[in-house]
Amino acid sequence: MTMRLLFGTLAFALMLAVLGCSRNDSAPGKVVGRVLRHGQGIPMAMVQVYPKAEQDRSTPPVAEIPSGEDGAFSLELPPGRYWVWAKATITEGSREVRLVGQATTNPVESFSGEGTTVKIELADPSGFAEGFGPEGTGLKGRVKFAEGTQAEGATVYVYPGTQERPIGPGFVAAVDVAGDASFRMNLAIGKYTLAVRQRKSSRDYGPPEKSDRVAVRQIEIAEGGYLDVGEITPTLIDQAAWKEITSKMGSDATRIEGLILDAKNRPVEGIRVLAFKDSRLTGKPAFVSPPSGKDGRYVLPISGEGGTFFLGARSRIGGPASPGEKTGHTLGPNGLGIKVKPGDNISKINISVEEVW
């Protein structure tokens, strides 16, 4: 297997000078490790080395190499400090999944004549996922709607561990119930909290409303099939809990809005905007907008104390971007994000989207 360094000796020297690393004529160090998914080695994952923490389009990797059959890789690097990432596209069940991960010890030090061992665990970076585990293991069930509420639909969320009152975007999987009110999700072995939410407004963002219905249940997934949780009936949200949650989450007064446009500046309908706190647009989003309208307009509510956000845009929720899906993003002015303070109504943040192929 051949390592492909992306610049020559002179460029290496210049980079190390910027990093404040002492190179001289010392021997290179070696960084070895494995790329894993649920503890299993992933072959042909692309391992990339960066000179700084920001893994963005303006910073090309200084080196990259594919992992071997067992996920192992070995890189020789001049002495210095690096950030090591890996990405791969694999098939889980019938679904193609694009994954990304970073060395658990980032930044990684390369010492002259010595070896450093790292591990990279890959994960699905998409804002939402309809599954979090291999095909064949997970849960299934059915939502029983109260009379006159079925048309509102419901969404099933799964949070890690045991949580008394799960809220916010910290879930590991989410799926809308099917037309017959059933649901099924792939999950890794472990303990979770299941939350079924039925919103009167049919929105899947923002603080809950008094008329919303919820159901919470703790579950444990074991190997060997889908746990049948049976029929779950959402009930009206507890009013005391509603007041507590809404006081913490704020209202829709703070927002970012704009237009979703295609390459010819035409409005695009049905695109959700996701607010991330990481410029790499990885991990779970902090906030999610409803789909853009026929005029391309979107409104992204921001609750709490505000912050700095980087925006992604997608035409669907669930899994990684796939061929035919429309995606886009904006990192804000000079790539530094969009700064939002409580009460701000930031407008004219337009996002261009294009189809993934």
DSSP letter string, 112-173: TT-EEEEEEE-B--SS--SEES-TTEEEEEEE-PPTT-GGG--EEEEEES--SS--TT--SE
Nearest C-alpha neighbor of 34 from the set 155, 157, 120, 151? 120
Give the whole-angstrom CA distance, residue 126 versus residue 272: 13
Task: Flag whether pLDDT at 340 surpasses 60.
Answer: yes
* Neighbouring C-beta atoms of residue 41, cutoff 10 Å: 15
**pLDDT tens for each residue of 53-64:** 765 545 678 898
Q: Give residue 276's region: left, alpha or beta (phi > 0; psi -120 to 50).
A: beta
* Neighbouring C-beta atoms of residue 68, cutoff 10 Å: 17
3-state secondary structure of 3: coil
Give the whole-angstrom CA distance, residue 83 versus residue 336: 20
Output the six-digit token pair for 181: 């009110």
Angstrom distances, CA of residue 218 to CA of 120, 139, 161, 250: 30, 12, 8, 27
Superfamily of domain 4-121: Immunoglobulins (2.60.40.10)
Q: What is the pLDDT of residue 207?
A: 55
CA contacts within 13 A on the Cβ side of 290: 11
Q: What is the pLDDT of residue 166?
A: 77
Least confident of 3-12, 134-143, 343-352: 3-12
**pLDDT tens for each residue of 163-216:** 877 766 567 777 778 778 899 888 878 889 999 988 776 555 455 667 788 899
**pLDDT tens for each residue of 238-259:** 766 655 555 444 445 789 999 9
List phi, psi (to 5°) of 346: -90, 120
What is the location of CATH 2.60.40.1120 in the chain? 255-355
Q: What is the pLDDT of residue 32?
A: 93
Contacts 24+ apart (CB under 8 A), 20-27: 21/78, 21/79, 21/80, 21/81, 22/79, 23/78, 23/79, 23/80, 26/79, 26/112, 26/113, 27/112, 27/113
Superfamily of domain 255-355: Carboxypeptidase-like, regulatory domain (2.60.40.1120)
Q: What is the pTM of this model?
A: 0.43
Output the six-digit token pair for 227: 């746990």
* Neighbouring C-beta atoms of residue 277, cutoff 10 Å: 15
Q: What is the pLDDT of residue 168?
A: 62
227: Cβ contacts below 8 Å, ≥ 6 apart: 138, 139, 140, 219, 220, 221
Higher per-residue confidence, 268 vs 208? 268
Q: What is the pLDDT of residue 256?
A: 93
Classify domain 131-249 at the CATH topology level.
Answer: Immunoglobulin-like (2.60.40)
**pLDDT tens for each residue of 96-130:** 667 778 887 888 888 877 788 899 888 765 544 55
Task: Flag whether pLDDT at 88 surpasses 90.
Answer: no
Least confident of 211-220, 298-307, 318-327: 318-327
Residue 19 is given by DSSP the state H
What is the location of CATH 2.60.40.10 in the chain? 4-121, 131-249
3-state secondary structure of 47: strand
Task: Flag whether pLDDT at 45 surpasses 60.
Answer: yes
